[in-house]
């Protein structure tokens, strides 16, 4: 299987093949409208604006699986993102990323790259881990997505190259994007 074998659903119900993004670097993110990490929409939009001409696309997938922090449907999520954060990158329909009902694309992504355990020496990660242990202990097992705004970076050949936890710096994400974009695209 390859990332290009997966289908995703737009908020209007239209089905789109990931083949649409062949040849592009892709940053896939499970998002939420009412999360403490929602400010990352601005960072994601800046990355998209800065690198879209060099072949980057950011894809947002609203998810209500973590603390019911995205109560809107797909269309409402798109409107929220556009109105509050100026998001112009594609935002898809509401998905689940863990469990039996997980979107197949996310099941694939989770198993393609290793993850980093949450670090108790970092305050936000320690707090997130404590909340997960209390409310969603299964999400700490294996390669499950821990929380909203987990990011997966896919290179232009379709290989999943990196997973970023929601607490990781956008500067780290940007450095990896620059590493996988063609040199001529950055000139």
Residue with tokens 């009902």: 101
Secondary structure (3-state) at 173 = helix
Looking at the DSSP bridge assignments, the partners of residue 27 are: 58, 153
35 in catalytic set:
yes
Put residue 142 in one of left, alpha, beta given phi > 0 → left and psi -120 to 50 → alpha: left
Instruction: Determine which one of 3, 26, 35, 94 is catalytic.
Output: 35
CA angle centred on 12, ends 8 and 15, rounded to 5°: 30
Question: Of 65, 64, 58, which Cα lies nearest the Cα of 77?
Answer: 64
Active site residues: 35
């Amino acid at each position: 299987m390859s990332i290009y074998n997966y289908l995703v659903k737009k908020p209007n119900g239209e089905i789109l093949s990931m083949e649409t993004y062949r040849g592009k670097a892709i940053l896939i993110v499970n998002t939420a409208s009412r999360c403490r990490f929602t400010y990352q929409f601005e960072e994601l939009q800046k990355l998209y604006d800065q690198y879209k001409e060099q072949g980057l696309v950011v894809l947002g997938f609203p998810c209500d699986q973590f603390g019911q922090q995205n109560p809107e449907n797909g269309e409402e999520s798109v409107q929220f993102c556009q109105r509050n954060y100026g998001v112009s990158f594609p935002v898809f329909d509401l998905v689940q990323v863990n469990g039996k009902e997980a979107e197949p694309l996310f099941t694939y992504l989770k198993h393609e790259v290793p993850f980093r355990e949450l670090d108790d020496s970092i305050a936000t990660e320690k707090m997130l881990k404590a909340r997960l242990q209390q409310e969603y202990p299964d999400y700490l097992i294996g390669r499950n997505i821990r929380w909203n705004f987990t990011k997966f970076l896919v290179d232009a050949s379709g290989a999943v190259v990196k997973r970023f936890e929601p607490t990781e710096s956008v500067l780290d994400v940007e450095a990896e994007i620059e590493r996988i974009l063609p040199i001529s695209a950055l000139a």
